[in-house]
Amino acid sequence: MVAIKDMLQEGAVLRPDGRAADELRPVVITRHWTEAPEGSVLIECGKTRVMCTASFTPTLPRWRKDSGLGWVTAEYAMLPRATSDRTARESVRGKVGGRTQEISRLIGRCLRGVVDMKALGENQIQLDCDVLQADGGTRTASVTGAYVAMVDALRWAQDHHHIRSADKVTKDCVSAVSVGIIDGKPMLDLPYLEDSRAMTDMNVSMTGSGDFIEIQGTAEHRPFNRQELGILLDLATKGNKELQAAQRKALASD
C-alpha cells in the first residue's frame, strides 16, 4: 500500500469534496425500502442514489427449464432527471441504449458470479437497479446494492420454502467500486465531476474473499501501464473491503 500513499501524497491531492484519494464516499444502505419486492434496497454512495429490488419467482426463462439450475438476471435504468440535464426515456425512444444494456449485463454477471445455481434450484431472481440520482459510480453502486437485495429475496424464499437455505445459494458476497486516474493521480470512487475528467476509468467487482469477478478498465483518453494498473487494483481492493463491511452491517441489522 506504500506505493499508493506515495503517489497520492506527492502533490497533496485536493479532491473537490475534500476526500483523500483512497477514501470512499459515505455509503448508506437501507433495506426494506419499499414493501412489494422480495428484496428492496436503497443504496446511497455520496449523492448517487440507486433503488435496487430483487424479485424472486419460482419459474425460469424457457431456455433454462429442466436444467435443475436457477438463473439470475439484472436490468439497470436511469430516471429522466437522475442527471443534471433531462435524459429522454428509453421506453419513449422505443429502444434500450447500448450503455444501459452494457451495464445491465455487467450487473447480472457480477451477481451470478457468487450464486450457486444448483442451490438456487429452478428459481429466478430478477434484479432491478433504478438510478434516482446519478453522481458517478451508478453501476458499481448497483452491484453493491443488488447483492443486499438479493440476499433479502433469498431469505424471503427460504421463509416461504422455495429454497432450503439462503446461505447456501450465495457462495460469497460481491461488491463493486470505481477507480480512475485523474491528472495522473489514481483515485478511489469517482463522482461525476472526476469521472468525466478521468484519463483511465476502471470498475472492479470483487468477492468477500478478495478475488475478482469483473474488471473493466478503459483508457479512451490515455493508455495506462502495468504499474498504474497495480495501484488502481489496490485502491479497488480497499474500497470493496469497506463496501462489503457496509453490506454485512446492513444485513446483520433486522
State the residues that interact with its own copies by CB under 8 A. 34-37, 40, 47, 49, 51, 53, 55, 57, 75, 77, 79-84, 86, 89-102, 104-105, 109, 112-113, 126, 128, 130, 132-134, 172, 202, 206-207, 209-221, 223-226, 229, 233
Shortest Å distance, C-beta 135 to its own copies: 9
Query: At closest approach, how far in Å is the CB of 72 from its own copies?
Result: 10
Q: Which residue reads 428492496 in cell numbers? A: 40
Burial class (CB within 10 angstroms; exposed 0-12, middle 13-18, buried 19+) of 206: buried
Nearer to its own copies, 16 or 94 (CB): 94
Looking at beta carbons only, is 20 or 124 nearer to its own copies? 124
The answer for residues whose C-beta is within 8 angstroms of residue 245's C-beta and 6 or more apart is none
Task: Judge whether 137 is annotated as a binding position.
Answer: yes
Q: Which is nearer to its own copies, 60 or 79 (CB)?
A: 79
Q: Which residues are CB-contacts of 25 (< 8 A; sequence separation ≥ 6)?
A: 17, 19, 45, 46, 48, 137, 189, 191
> Which sign does the torsion angle of CA 100, 102, 105, 111 carry?
negative
Nearer to its own copies, 19 or 49 (CB): 49
- Annotation-wise, does 139 bind a ligand? yes
Least Å distance, CB 83 to its own copies, is 6
Instruction: Write down the least CB distance from residue 12 to its own copies, Å.
Output: 27
Report d(CA 179, CA 137) in Å as an integer. Answer: 9
Q: How far is CA 247 from CA 8, 122, 172, 211, in A?
A: 28, 27, 12, 17
Give 86 or 249: the residue with its C-beta nearer to its own copies: 86
Q: Is 15 annotated as a binding residue?
A: no
Question: Distance between CA 251 and CA 154 in Å, rounded?
Answer: 12
- Length of the chain as a residue count: 254
81 known ligand binder: no
CB of 189 to its own copies, least distance (A): 19
The annotation places the binding site for phosphate at 99, 137-139
